Structure 1
Amino acid sequence: MTPMTVSFKALLLAAAVALPGLAMAADPAMEKDGMFTDHKGMTLYTYDKDADGKSNCNGQCAENWPPLMAGSDAKTMGKWTVVKRDDGSMQWAYDDDPLYTYKGDEKAGDKAGEGKGGVWHIAKPD
């Protein structure tokens, strides 16, 4: 075997191991225990005042409820969509409902935002 053959085989093996993780990282969120979380395990929420695929949580609201941001190159994937925020940045949405974390959730799995103000709810799959 030539060194080139060995290197190519090593590259293929590395790609086979790495690609499943990369594919998962491209997903905007994960489903865990019947609810959506970000990739750090933080609970995701929807806001009743959002409508027609538009976020109405800006300024102080967005500081308390950080949007699940999407890259400028993010693409719609089934029910996962991308909405443009008032500041021009992009945010992930599920079934046109923009998604947020809550600054009051301190660790993965916390759900302190559920029901806040009667307008915040844990995001769940249909």
Structure 2
Amino acid sequence: MRLPKLILSTSFLVTALITVTACGSVAGTPQAVKIKNVEHVVTLPSPVAVPPPTVAKTQKRVQIFSGPSDQPVVATPNIAPGSHDVQLKVGLSDKIGSYLTDGDGNTLYRFDNDSNMPPKSTCNGECAKTWPPLLIASPGKIFPTGVDPQLIGYVERADGTCQVTVNGWPVYYYSGDHNPGDLNGQGIKNVWFAVNPTGGKTPPLPGK
């Protein structure tokens, strides 16, 4: 009778020790479950220095640069004599392809009744209220992005202000455009078209 009791007591003791050992591994001996912190060192690439724009062309007291300004350019209302700093960019439309915009993304147009050799603007008076010219004040700076700076210049208008040109073509806004990317002036009277980055006409809108 004593032997079974002894075996039972020993079995109970072993079970208790296992239980204590198992619980102790979790709560009693934190060294056994301590997770070693691993530090990951990430090496970031060095920032690439962007060279400042350089003057690519000068027309009297207006400088045309090789790219965007390295300083913020604040647009001013397009009224005489115009802004001393003008940005030009290229927009992309799935309807007409690449076209020219100002720094805020507003569409710029050309007028078939104008000429580029020599540059001449014929939209004055009431016409200019509907199609305001993009003006550059002198002295001034023009910063084109995605456009050959050698194609950029200006022409003096009848009122003495200076209008930005692309490959000799004077460029305008349309008063019916209200948001960047609007193309509401495209194809009007079949003589007004968004100007492309080389001064040419963009194609008419589909269905017009």
Output the TM-score relative to the length of structure 2. Answer: 0.48
Answer whether contact 1:75 1:82 (CA < 8 A) is retained. no
Give the aligned partner of residue 90 of structure 2.
31
Q: Write the letter of the residue equivalent to 1:21.
A: Q
Answer whether contact 2:86 2:141 (CA < 8 A) is retained. no
Work out the percentage of aligned pairs sharing the same amino acid: 36
Q: Distance in 1 between matches of 2:141 and 2:172?
A: 18
1:1-126 matches, within 5 Å, as: 20-22=70-72, 26-33=85-92, 34-51=98-115, 52-74=118-140, 77-126=149-198
Structure 1 runs not aligned, ≥5 long: 1-15
Q: Write the letter of the residue equivalent to 2:125.
A: G
Deviation at 1:74, TM superposition (A): 3.4
Deviation at 1:81, TM superposition (A): 0.7
Answer whether contact 1:28 1:92 (CA < 8 A) is retained. no
Q: 1:42 to 1:75 in 2, by over 3 A?
A: closer
Deviation at 1:95, TM superposition (A): 0.2
Answer whether contact 2:91 2:101 (CA < 8 A) is retained. yes
Per-residue CA shift, 1:53-90, capped at 9, x if unaligned? Answer: 01000001100000000112236841101100000000
Q: Distance in 1 between matches of 2:176 and 2:184?
A: 6
Deviates more, 1:32-41 or 1:82-91: 32-41
SS at match of 1:30: strand
Of the two, which has the highest radius of gyration? 2
* Alpha-carbon RMSD: 2.3
Provide runs of 4+ in structure 1 moved above 3 Å.
25-28, 74-77
SS at match of 1:78: helix
Answer whether contact 2:86 2:102 (CA < 8 A) is retained. no
Deviation at 1:32, TM superposition (A): 1.7
SS at match of 1:112: coil
Structure 2 runs not aligned, ≥5 long: 1-51, 53-68, 76-84, 93-97, 143-148, 199-208
Output the TM-score relative to the length of structure 1. Answer: 0.77
Q: Distance in 2 between matches of 1:75 and 1:90?
A: 12
Number of equivalences: 109
Answer whether contact 2:86 2:136 (CA < 8 A) is retained. no
